[in-house]
Amino acid sequence: MSKLVAVTGVTGFVGPHLVAALARRGWRLRLLVRRWSPLPSLAGIDAEIVMGDVLSEPALRELVRGADAVVHAAGLIKARTPADFMSVNRDSAALLSALASEATLVLLSSLAAREPQLSAYGASKRAGEVAIAARSGPWLAVRAPAVYGPGDRETLAYFRSVKLGLAPQPWLSSARLSLIHVSDLAETLALAVERSPERSIYEIDDGTAGAYSYADMARAAGAALGRQPWHVKVPRPIMAGIAVWNGLRQSLGGPTQILTQGKVAEIFHQDWSVHDRRLAAAIGFQPRYDLTAGFRDTVQWYRSQHWL
């Protein structure tokens, strides 16, 4: 009988791609979902479903029962308070680590964890890493850079802006950014589960030496959309002002916003390039997409879904 993998975060952006990658490799699947509803993104996937959320001990206990491996891909990228970030990104990792003591535990983390002083999000992702590193069983954390691709709603606004001829970027920024297409990230996680490299925190990207600049992103997005966008350089005080306004809206009961003061600090940080390529070498990962091909694939998908 094939081995069993338990997966969280299956209805998010990365989750469906991850589940498909694991299914292709022959794993039996047990998936955590918060509430029952038709899941078009998981159509055709044969899996056992466990109902509950990532902070429910009974649900997580059932999820990991008898599992050979656990991939914890659930997490918050925006939250109303730092405590909300910690509750999901740290506490759920700690709970899974305790309940799945014998299984291989793979945590989807973020490069933001490398700079936890910048944002509540980064601090919570780093805390999740610390939580699983204390376990005696096998584990690894995979720090992903900016992730894009089919299904991503957070990057959609950038592509819509470029379609209008405007490519926003931070003022006076010489930042270098690593990126990865979501299907390549999913393949990385599936390979990591299968080949179980040594206990450590790893980084992954699309393999581009030196990473990318914001100008590189604008050119790739423009090429995918058939536009030559104007590079709009946004000063930090303006972006910070928008973040203040977003915080006020949240405090008055408005929707949770991703652009916060912490996110502004992340955006103006100068080094989001991957430094550590041990994981790709250890698991034999070969990315399919560089930025040009990846943005082209993303735009094609957006258009097929009438998002652009």
CATH of the domain at 56: 3.40.50.720
Report pLDDT digits (tens) over 48-82. Answer: 999 999 999 999 999 999 999 999 999 999 999 99
Q: Would you place residue 237 in the very low, low, confident or very high pLDDT band (cuts 50, 70, 90)?
A: very high
In this predicted structure, the answer to whether residue 21 has a pLDDT above a threshold of 70 is: yes
Return the structure tokens found at 134.
């204390």
Return the structure tokens found at 258.
């991703």
In this predicted structure, the answer to whether residue 295 has a pLDDT above a threshold of 80 is: yes
In a domain, 261, yes or no: no
- The H or E element spanning position 159 is helix 156-163
Report pLDDT digits (tens) over 25-34. Answer: 999 999 999 8
In a domain, 111, yes or no: yes
In a domain, 268, yes or no: no
In a domain, 295, yes or no: no
pTM of the model: 0.94
In a domain, 233, yes or no: no
Rounded to an integer, what distance in angstroms lies between the CA atom of residue 189 and that of residue 209?
21
What is the overall mean pLDDT for the chain?
A: 94
Contacts of 285 (CB under 8 A, 6+ apart): 184, 187, 188, 191, 204, 279
Q: Would you place residue 5 in the very low, low, confident or very high pLDDT band (cuts 50, 70, 90)?
A: very high
For position 196, what pLDDT does the model report?
81
Task: Give the dihedral sign, CA 256/257/261/262.
Answer: positive
User: Strands, DSSP E only, in 54-203?
Assistant: 69-72, 104-110, 139-144, 146-148, 166-170, 176-177, 179-181, 200-203
For position 1, what pLDDT does the model report?
63
Return the structure tokens found at 109.
């983390």
User: Domain range holding 44?
Assistant: 4-145+180-208+275-288
In a domain, 26, yes or no: yes
State the Cα angle at 175 between 171 and 178, rounded to 5°.
Answer: 135
| Structural domain total, the chain | 1
Rounded to an integer, what distance in angstroms lies between the CA atom of residue 60 and that of residue 32?
8
In a domain, 33, yes or no: yes
Closest by CA to 243, choosing from 270, 218, 261, is 261
